[in-house]
Structure 1
Amino acid sequence: MTLDPDQLGRSKSDLAETLRRLRLEAGLTGDRLSVRCGISQSKISKIETGKLTPTLVDVERILRALGAPAALVREVSSLARTANTEWQDKRASWRRGIEKRQAELASLESDATELRYFLPAMITGLLATPEYIRASLSHSPGDRTIVVGRKLERQAALYDESKSFTFLLTEQAVKWALLPPQAMAVQIDRLASLTHLPSVRIGVIPYGTLITRGPMNTFTVYDDRLATVESFTGRLAFRDHRDIQRYREIFSIFEESALFGDEARGLLGEWAMMYRE
C-alpha cells in the first residue's frame, strides 16, 4: 500500500463511489444487497454516501454479495485499506493549536482499556516529568505552558486500575539526554517509581538485546481498534483490523525481549546513577 497523503484523503470518497457503482451495475437495490451480505440497509447507505468508512471485512462481504471477480476484490480491498488509514500532518496540528492534540489523546486514552506504547527514541509524555515535557516541546509553536499542563493532566489515567498500560522503552529512549544530567536522573527515577502502579507495566530493552526486528518507529496501539505511528512530519492512524493486528504482533516481539519488574528497576537505577555520577 502506497501511503500518499493526498491519496489517503481521497480514498474514502473513491471507495464510497466505487461500491455504489458496483451495486448499480449489478442491478441491486440497497435493500437487496443488505439481505445478500448481512449488513443493514442503513449502514450500506452510509457507506455509499461516504458518511461511514467500511472495514475490510464489510467491503469483502459486499463484494462477495455482488459476485465480484477476484481481481476486482483485490483492487477494491486495497482501496478500502487505504481508506482506513489517516494521515495527520504535524503542521496542521500546530495551526489548530497543539493543546487540541492533547484533548484528542486524552479522549483516546479515556476510551481505551488496553494501551500499548513502543518507544524506541524518547520517553512519552505520560511518563515524563514536567521538565522533560517542557524540553520536548522546545521546537513546538504556541503556548507551551498550556500544553505542559494538559500532558500532566493526562497522566491521571495511569492511576485508573480499570485500564492496562504497557510501555516498552529501548535503552536509547531512556538515556536520550533531553535534559541536564541531574534532571535526567530524576526522570529515570520517575520511570522506576511508575513500575509499581497496578495498571502500568514498563519494560526496558537494553543495548545488546538480540531482536530480529528493527525499532523503526514510535507507535501506540489502542485496544484492537486503532494504531498510530509517529514520524517527524506527522502521524499515521490505522483503523483496519489487519494493520492493527500486525502492530500488536510486532509489539509482542519486542515485549518478549523486554525486562520488567525488579530487572527493569535495577537497570533504571543503574542508568539514573550514571547521570548522577
Structure 2
Amino acid sequence: MALEPEQVGRSKADLAEMLRVLRKQAGLSQARLAARCHISQSKVSKLETGEVTPSLVDAELILRAVGAPPALVAEVTALARLANTEWQAVRSSWRRGLDKRQAELAALEADAVELRYFLPSMITGLLATPEYIRASLDHVPGDTARTVARKIERQVVLYDTSKRFTFLLTEQAVRWAVVPPPVLAVQLDRLVSLSQLSNVRIGVLPLSTPITRGPMNTFTVYDDRLVTVENFTGRIVFQDARDIAEHLEIFDQYERHALFGEDARDRLREWASCYR
C-alpha cells in the first residue's frame, strides 16, 4: 500500500469504522469480541471510536475473531500499518520554524533511554560542531540562528549517563564536504572526543567494508517504540511494532560491520589528517 501523506489522518477513522462494521457483520457484541481476542471490552470500544489506534497485532486478533476473508485481511492490515504511520513534510517544518522541530526532537530524546541513529549521508546535529550545523542549514529559507542555537542546546543530552546512544555513520556521512577541509577536520576531532563518553558509541562504516545491503535512508530508533525515517521532502514516523522491529534488524545488520572504539577513532583521525 503506497503511503500518500493526505491519507494518513483519514486512515485512522476509516480503520475504526471498518473494525466496528466487521464486528457487527459477524454478529458479535463488543464483550464477545473482547473475550475472543483476550482484550478488555473498553479497549474494543476505544478501537472502534478511534480513541485508540489499533496496532497490527490488535487488527489481526480482531480479523481472526470475526473470520475475515484473506482479501479483507490484507486491506485492513495495510490500513492498520498506515494508521500507525505519520508523515511530516519538511516544508511544513520550515513554515512552523525549525526551532520548533528542535523542541520536538528534544522531547523525543528526553523520553527515550536507548537511542540509535543510522547516518548514511551526513553527521547529525547532536554530534556536529556549530560551523557544521550552520553550513548544513544553508539551503533552509529564513534566519536559522535560533535553529542553530537549539541544535547546540540539544547536545547536552549526550552527557546524560542514564541514556545510551549508538551512532552508525558511513564514510560518506563522515567525509561529505559540508564545510571546508580544515573545518571538517575539527568536526572529525569532535567525533573522536564524543566517542569516548561512556554512554556514547560511535561506529563508522568505511567504504571498503563489504556490505551487500546499500544504505538508503537516515533513520532514528527511540527505544523500541518509535522510528523516524528522513528523506529530501520530509520524514515518516513509524509507531507500529513490526516497522520498528524491521528497522532494529536493519540497524543490527550494519552495526555488526561497523568499527567502534579505538578502531573507529583511528579511522576518524586518519580521515581528519587528510583535511589538515
Distance (whole Å) between structure 2 residues aligned to residue 137 and residue 29 of structure 1 = 55
Aligned residues between the structures: 276
Shift of 1:196: 0.5
Name the SS of the counterpart of 1:224 in structure 2.
coil
Aligned to 2:83: 83
AA in 1 matched with 2:121: A
Aligned to 2:7: 7
Q: CA RMSD in A?
A: 1.3
Q: What whole-Å deviation, never above 9, does each CA across 1:36-65 have from its counterpart, x for those lacking one? A: 212222222222122221111111112222
TM-score normalized by structure 1?
0.96
Contact 1:98 1:142 in 2 (8 A): no
The answer to whether 1:93 aligns with 2:93 is yes
Q: What whole-Å deviation, never above 9, does each CA across 1:224-262 have from its counterpart, x for those lacking one? A: 111111101001111111111111111111111110111
Aligned to 2:220: 220
Aligned to 2:261: 261
Name the SS of the counterpart of 1:74 in structure 2.
helix
AA in 1 matched with 2:34: S
Contact 1:219 1:228 in 2 (8 A): yes
Shift of 1:67: 2.5
Aligned to 2:233: 233
Q: What whole-Å deviation, never above 9, does each CA across 1:179-234 have from its counterpart, x for those lacking one? A: 11211111110000001001100000111110010011111111111111110100
The answer to whether 1:206 aligns with 2:209 is no
Between 4-13 and 76-85, the greater mean CA deviation after superposition: 4-13
Structure 1 residue runs of 4 or more that deviate by more than 3 Å after TM superposition:
none
Aligned to 2:146: 146
Distance (whole Å) between structure 2 residues aligned to residue 23 and residue 141 of structure 1 = 50
Aligned to 1:166: 166
Shift of 1:10: 2.1
Name the SS of the counterpart of 2:24 in structure 1.
helix
Aligned to 1:17: 17
Q: Percent identity?
A: 68
Contact 1:97 1:142 in 2 (8 A): no
Contact 1:185 1:275 in 2 (8 A): yes
Segments of structure 1 that go 5 or more residues without pairing to the other structure are none
Aligned to 2:116: 116
Shift of 1:272: 0.9
Contact 1:195 1:261 in 2 (8 A): yes
Q: What whole-Å deviation, never above 9, does each CA across 1:10-57 have from its counterpart, x for those lacking one? A: 211111110111112222232332222122222222221222211111
Aligned to 2:53: 53
AA in 2 matched with 1:107: A
Name the SS of the counterpart of 2:12 in structure 1.
helix
Distance (whole Å) between structure 2 residues aligned to residue 141 and residue 53 of structure 1 = 36
Distance (whole Å) between structure 1 residues aligned to residue 70 and residue 207 of structure 2 = 47
Shift of 1:97: 1.5
1:33-48 superposed matches below 5 A:
33-48=33-48
Q: What whole-Å deviation, never above 9, does each CA across 1:68-116 have from its counterpart, x for those lacking one? A: 2333222211211111111111111111221111111111111111111
Name the SS of the counterpart of 2:178 in structure 1.
coil
Aligned to 2:175: 175
Distance (whole Å) between structure 2 residues aligned to residue 27 and residue 143 of structure 1 = 60
Distance (whole Å) between structure 2 residues aligned to residue 144 and residue 47 of structure 1 = 42
Between 179-188 and 29-38, the greater mean CA deviation after superposition: 29-38
Name the SS of the counterpart of 1:68 in structure 2.
coil
TM-score normalized by structure 2?
0.96
Distance (whole Å) between structure 2 residues aligned to residue 257 and residue 111 of structure 1 = 29
Segments of structure 2 that go 5 or more residues without pairing to the other structure are none
